[in-house]
A and B are shown apart, each in its own frame.
Chain A
């Protein structure tokens, strides 16, 4: 569903990742690993097409990606149901109920998101991914501030998504409880000697 070939990504004029290749077939999950600052977030933002790539190719998924960032985009003055309903309308789906059910948010549906605990808010953020109805989930540290039970709940949701023919690209350090390929991106970190190539012109000095 998603293929990266010899991918290079720069951030703020400095190369971050070089020569990265992977494929993400339907029904599979790919876990990204690497120390802080290795470029996991940058890679995920590039996959979500928020950031241009500096070299190589990235194909597939333009219209199928649901991106989940560090911050959830949860509006504190809206209720849980309103938050999800909004994204359901944006994506033209009616999955808000299903998402609340999957992440055990029904009891909180009428609660203002501002009154939720950090873990509950995170669950709301993950429910948003389900609401999109998209097939490729691109998630950046989805389990931050989740307790063990919620992590298991989330693992089940991802497993169900994969079983239904979806795919997931997840940056995380913990075991989510389902079979997944692992890609350690440490090996692809750009060395100090690698220059930024921008456009088709040789701007060798940068």
Chain B
């Protein structure tokens, strides 16, 4: 398992693009939205939390279709499926590698983007906390979606269609934490719900994804 994680991280770094690209995309969203909405600080402060969470969602989605596709195309997935590693573990490790290369850097730069979007000062802590807790769920749910479309030639578009509805609860609770936190309101419930979704996704989805991958390898 550790070997697989290290290999995937090494591949991500050697290929370059992978992790810079999602970050750049995240930044792009934070720049494009004020250009579209207008520079009024009050408006931006109101939508900052939602925009940053939607940006995180899209940035996570961007790199998903290569999560299993590369290994599928060069035959590695067949070899992993016949190796002693349990398929559910392979899925979990790949989702973890995806989070480490896209989710974690995204969490780290989010305060800077909060600055661009005039996020109220009380919101920064909760932005960091909610993204840190919520983005692992995005990676795992995305890995599940990628496992469904791995055998398809043009899976990218379909992947978005399948994964985005599954992201809805994470998005709602995550953005709610930031919004409520920025207003100094009660954040216990959405934070707990967000954590529960992440925990549940990591507990249940590796199994579902491994079923999907095995079906795709047949």
Chain A residues near B (Cβ < 8 Å): 48-52, 63, 65-67, 69-75, 77-78, 82, 86-87, 89-92, 128, 132
Contact = CB atoms under 8 A, between A and B. Distances in A.
Shortest 3 CB-CB contacts between residues of A and residues of B = A71-B75, A89-B3, A73-B76
A75 B218 contact: no
Contacts of B79: 67, 69, 73, 87, 128
Interface band, chain B: 20 to 34
Interface string B112-123: 000000000000
Contacts of A67: 78-79, 82
Nearest to B2: A89
Given A48-B82, A73-B77, 9 more contacts: A50-B78, A66-B82, A69-B75, A72-B74, A73-B75, A75-B7, A77-B10, A87-B79, A90-B85
Given A65-B82, A78-B10, A91-B84, A86 B3 contact: yes
B14 interface: yes
Contacts of A82: 7, 10
A42 to B, nearest CB: 10
B15 interface: yes
Task: Give the dominant DSSP class at A's interface.
Answer: loop
Specify which of A50, A82, A128 lies most central, judged by the most chain B CB atoms within 10 Å of its CB.
A50
Interface string B81-107: 111110000000000000000000000
12 contacts: A49-B82, A50-B217, A65-B82, A71-B78, A72-B74, A72-B75, A73-B79, A75-B7, A75-B74, A78-B7, A89-B2, A90-B83
